[in-house]
Amino acid sequence: MNNFINSIGLNKKPSDTTVVVAMSGGVDSSTVAGIMRKDGYKVIGITLKLYDDGKEASNSKQCCSGQDIMDAKRVAHKLDIEHKILYYQNKFKQGVIDNFVESYLKGQTPIPCVQCNQTVKFRDLFEVSKELKADAMITGHYVKSITQNNSTNMYRAIDENRDQSYFLFNTTREQLNYLRFPLGGMLKKTTRDIAKKLELNVAEKPDSQDICFVPSGDYASVIQKFKPDSFKKGNIKNLKGEVLGVHDGIINFTIGQRRGIKVSGKEALYVIKIDSEKNEIIVGPKKKLGKTKIHLRDINLLCNKNEFDKKIFVKVRSTGKLLDAKVNLKNTNDAEVNLNIPENGISPGQACVFYNKDQFGHKVLGGGWIKEQN
């Protein structure tokens, strides 16, 4: 019996192991493809065309643009690996863009990167990888995955400034057991150094910063494109219900926002609540932003419930820190999170991700979507 375990935890020689690498055209996924090729795996690179970028194709701050597709193709040629381009514009619009627009119209703050991972990247690309009879699917996400007893758990990356576990909380157990994340144990500098050694043309390419279909971060322009009648004027009120002014559309605001309110008070005013049904913005002082109780919907668990008997941490925004909390799991569509210390700017539409800590680091237990708070 062959007891050889390869670098991705499978009982096969790399030369007998086929992997699909999701290649976005950036330095991270390109380096992963290079590592797999160098280690002797049979590599199939797949790049997704997700939207029609037009004149924004050369914007280096966006991911998945036309330029990125060309970069991925060049990297695949350099590495001498098979490369496929899948045209998923319709899937992406239905699964990501439409949800983004509708969420903003409801006064929420959506996270399209989570929706993208949940749908076209991990659901649809997962199915394609299986059809290609690949043994595993590899991505350039900065998360750690550790496999024990034929089960894989996800952890925060060693480089916490790059950690992307927040965006992957909706990964299913089946997907997680099939996915591999080679960069989770590396610093970004190490990734670029490897890309240079492999002589990849993207070694110095800047990281994507903007949401791929939102040029220059202008959310309103995207919503206006798909819902041109959504800019409706409404009242700006204080917490007492008094009208302070008029806004030009709730899509211009998010919870915790200060700029652009255009009304003044004795102290600085922040968006405390967005009432989409009444088309109203509720503003108040910063101290009213703090919340200790969060209600969640659509819970995804990657662990047994007894894991929540241990000390729990949560993250309520992608750039936020880990917060001490207690989690009460009522059912798959209802959970209550109680924070030890009030947190500002908690917004419906964002995710709340659960973690605990063991000998390998901060393990992702799952998470849910933040509901409208009463």
Catalytic residue list: 116, 212
What tokens were used for 94? Answer: 């239905």
Report the C-alpha dihedral over residues 140, 205, 64, 227, rounded to 10 degrees: 120
Closest to 373 measured CA to CA, from 339, 323, 332, 331: 339
Closest to 143 measured CA to CA, from 106, 182, 85, 107: 182
373 φ, ψ (degrees, to nearest 5): -95, 135
For residues 43 and 329, give the distance between their C-alpha atoms in angstroms, rounded to a whole number: 41
Q: Are 343 and 310 in contact (CB under 8 A)?
A: no
Report the C-alpha dihedral over residues 330, 116, 109, 334, rounded to 10 degrees: -10
Looking from the CA of 242 toward its CB, the CA atoms found within 13 Å total 6
Q: Are 142 and 185 in contact (CB under 8 A)?
A: no
